Amino acid sequence: MIPVTRLPAPEELLDLLASGTDRVVAKGADSAAADSVWSSSRVAKREIRALLHLMAPAIQRCMYCLDSQGTDIDHFQPKALAPLRTFDWSNHLLACSFCNSNAKREEYPCDATTGKRLLVDPSTDDPADHLALLPASGTYDGLTAIGRESIRVFDLNRETLRRGRVRMFQLCRDLLPLWHAKLLRGDTTGADETAMALLEEPFGDVLRTLCRRARTPAIAELTYGLELGMALVEWRHAHT
C-alpha cells in the first residue's frame, strides 16, 4: 500500500453527492436507505469512479493491494455502519473486486477503548507508518495495531500478492540500474521510457520501500550494493 492524493471533487459531483445524502435522509437514514439510494445513483457512481481512476496508483490499480485493476467503489467506512457517509467523497476509495468483496467486505475494526479506526486509509495516512514491507519475501509486517488489522482485513499477505511483490523486486533490481545507465550517458528519452515502465507496474509499494531505505548513498550501497544503490539514490532525487 502507498499513499494516494485525494483530488478535490468538482462542484457538479459535490451537488450529486449532496443530493444523494438528502435522499438517504428522506428514506430514513439507515443502511437499507443507503443501499437503495446508492444502487440507483448511476450518474454519481460513474463520476466518483472516474475521479478515483485519476487518483489511482500506476494504471488504475487497487488502492489496497496495488495488484489488480480497481473496478469497485469501496466505502471505506461501510454503508451499513455509516449510512450518511454513503455519498461522502472522503469515504470513497478504488478497490479491486477481491479486496472489496472477498477481503474487506463490511469490516471496519475500531479500537475498543478509543473508538478510533484500525485500518490504513491510503488517502489520509502514510501506510509506511503502520506497515513494513520485506521486498525479498513480498511479505508485510504490521508495525502498529492499525497495520496488523490492515494486513488481516485486506489479506495483504495472500500468496498471489507476495509472489507479485517478489517479481516486482526482481524487476526493480534489473530496471533501475538500466534506467540510471541511460541517464548517465545522456539518453534521457530511453531513461524516461524505462522510468515509465517501472512507474506503471503493479506493486508500487516495492519501489517505494526500496527508495525509502536508500536514504543516503552510504546506506543505499550497504543495503543494495553499488550499482542498485546508486540508481536508487538518483531515483529518489528524480521521482520523490
Give the start-to-end residue ranges of the domains of the chain.
11-154, 159-239
Indicate the SS3 state at residue 227. helix
pLDDT of 184 over the 80 cut: yes
Average pLDDT, rounded, for the chain? 97
Specify the DSSP element, H or E, that contains 88. Answer: none
Give residue 160's identity as a one-letter amino acid code.
Answer: T
Q: Which percentage of the chain shows pLDDT scores above 70?
A: 100
Please state the rounded mean pLDDT for residues 5-23: 98
8 Å CB contact between 141 and 134: yes
Give the integer Cα–Cα distance in Å for 122 and 1: 7
Give residue 215's pLDDT. Answer: 87
The runs of H, that is alpha helices, within the chain are 11-26, 31-39, 42-55, 97, 145-154, 159-184, 188-199, 204-213, 217-224, 226-239
71-100 per-position pLDDT tens digit: 999 999 999 999 999 999 999 999 999 999
Q: pTM value?
A: 0.94
What pairs with residue 54 in β-bridges?
A: none
pLDDT digits (tens, 9 = 90+) for 156-182: 999 999 999 999 999 999 999 999 999
C-alpha cell at 152: 488481516
When pLDDT is averaged across residues 41-45 and rounded to a whole number, the result is: 98
pLDDT digit string, tens, across residues 132-165: 999 999 999 999 999 999 999 999 999 999 999 9
Write out pLDDT tens, residues 107-128.
Answer: 999 999 999 999 999 999 999 9
Over 90: is that where the pLDDT of 240 sits? Answer: no
